[in-house]
Amino acid sequence: MTSTTSVTYTAPSSSSSSSSPKMAPQRRSPAIDNLTISTVTSNSSMEIDLRRVSSMPERGGVETVMSNSDEEDIIRKSQSEGAKPLLKLDQYGFISNMDKDGVVVPTTDSQKKATTQNGKNASTTSVEQRRTTKWNIMLNSWSNVMKRRPKLVLKRLRKGIPHEQRGKVWLTLCHVKEQQQKNPGLYESYVNSKESPNKAFLTVQETIEKDIHRTFPRHSLFYDDGNDSEAEMVNSPFGGSLLDSPDRYNDEETERGIVEGQASLKRVLKAYSLHDPDVGYCQGMNFIAGMFLTIVTEEEAFWMLVAIMSDQPCYMRGLFGEGMRETHKVLYVAEHLVHQFLPRLAKHFDKENIHVTMYATQWLLTQYTSSFGFDLVLRVWDCFLQEGWKITYRVMLAILQEFQSRLLQLSFEEILAFMRDLPERIEDGGKLVTTSIHIPLRKKHILKLEREWLAKQDQH
């Protein structure tokens, strides 16, 4: 029997701030404490036009449900009392009962898909349990496995990390624990920095301030209903925030009533701008950091951002630095890979004067976080943190291959319009990532094109 749980989040008041740091809460898996959830596949129910509010369509493939009668009772009660509609969240924390204008609407039984069922298929659950067990064993002897069986690790990463273990695996891949031990208190010192800011710093902070409100506004962590009153969440896959305690830092944002997730994102981006002043902040980093915050705690998200910006195999720092030099290299490689692996489509794009910069820049710079559903995004990052850019280019090619027949029929204006809506057309992001693995792209192909680009730069 499915148990029913209503999770209530109360916005922290200004009185919650404290001068002494508090320990961050532990990360929690989707099913915790007394919260028992059942999941169903519901890709189609999430296909809505989100461009007016955010570039992130939230099809995650899994929606949490409770028993119909209990849910109806809660909805009827809230409607009769004039309360705000309860938030229904998908597996990744996105609000599933929000219309295309960003308005949360009551969900009734008549609005549910006929395919909605309580619970998972027993065979699917069994497979997931076996995969979870394998990952637990591997994590317990990580150094040894990485040294002796790196191909096994990569194989399992490409299949996708079980979501409840994703945070731990990502932190391990990014060596976050080691960085925290080497730099105790560094993140907190950035957050609480009282140094007199210069003009450049103020400009960076103003840009961050604008972008945090545009970052995943349909995710429960960043959702702002424009009211300081409590926002109720029903069927939440989270039993608590992944954020550090809001009173751990000098939290002026919380005092001003900014949503907890937005305040946390602002702190992470501010800290990074102080940590790496040559890069500071560039648009696109907000989506990456925001995505990290849905998986790990605040300080961990900061150290993950440091790792993927500065360390191999990701090394994204050049994409966001002055001149964005690495961006031009990435786009050069992407353009030539389309010609190599999808020559017919590339020829059509050339005929219609469609360049890769017109559709793929945002995909590549943010590793798909700004435009695609988390069922695709998280699978990309499972691989990206270990093998770097090969998965990025493979997924780009798989997306274009998936819609090639349709794109070949379109003119210039039609192609641009199609590309704007393309993320919403992907029904199963996880399946698309799996398909991309089979594209015969090799590291040598990427290195050859990178060398060509560098040679062209030397000639100028």
* Mean pLDDT within 191-218: 86
The span from the CA of 179 to the CA of 65, in Å, is 39
Tell me the residue type at 387: E
Residues 355-377 have pLDDT tens digits of: 999 999 999 999 999 999 999 99
Task: List beta partners, residue 80.
Answer: none
Q: Of 56-70, 121-135, 259-273, where does mean pLDDT reach its minimum?
A: 56-70
Pair of tokens at residue 331: 């786009």
Q: Check residue 103 and give its pLDDT.
A: 84
Break the chain into its structural domains and give their ranges.
128-173, 182-311, 320-459
pLDDT-derived band at 323 (thresholds 50, 70, 90) equals confident
294: left (phi over 0), alpha (psi -120 to 50) or beta: alpha
Pair of tokens at residue 401: 């291959």
Computed over every residue of the chain, the mean pLDDT equals: 78
The span from the CA of 272 to the CA of 270, in Å, is 5
Residues 23-70 have pLDDT tens digits of: 333 333 333 232 222 223 333 333 323 322 333 333 333 334 444 555
CATH topology of domain 320-459: Cyclin A; domain 1 (1.10.472)
DSSP 344: H
The span from the CA of 86 to the CA of 322, in Å, is 44
Q: Check residue 124 and give its pLDDT.
A: 63
Contact present, 88 and 95 (Cβ < 8 Å): yes
Q: How many CB atoms lie within 10 A of CB 229?
A: 10
Angstrom CA distances, 153 to 124, 234, 429, stand at: 22, 36, 21
Residues 164-174 have pLDDT tens digits of: 999 999 999 99
Pair of tokens at residue 59: 């099809």
DSSP calls for 399-433: HHHHTHHHHTT--HHHHHHHHHHHHHH-S-HHHHH
CATH of region 182-311, choose from 1.10.8.270, 3.60.20.10, 3.40.50.2020, 3.20.20.140: 1.10.8.270
* Residue 116, burial from CB neighbour count under 10 angstroms (0-12, 13-18, 19+): middle
Q: Global pTM?
A: 0.76
Q: Check residue 57 and give its pLDDT.
A: 37
Q: Which of 331, 355, 327, 336 is nearest to 412 (CA)?
A: 355
Contact present, 37 and 31 (Cβ < 8 Å): yes
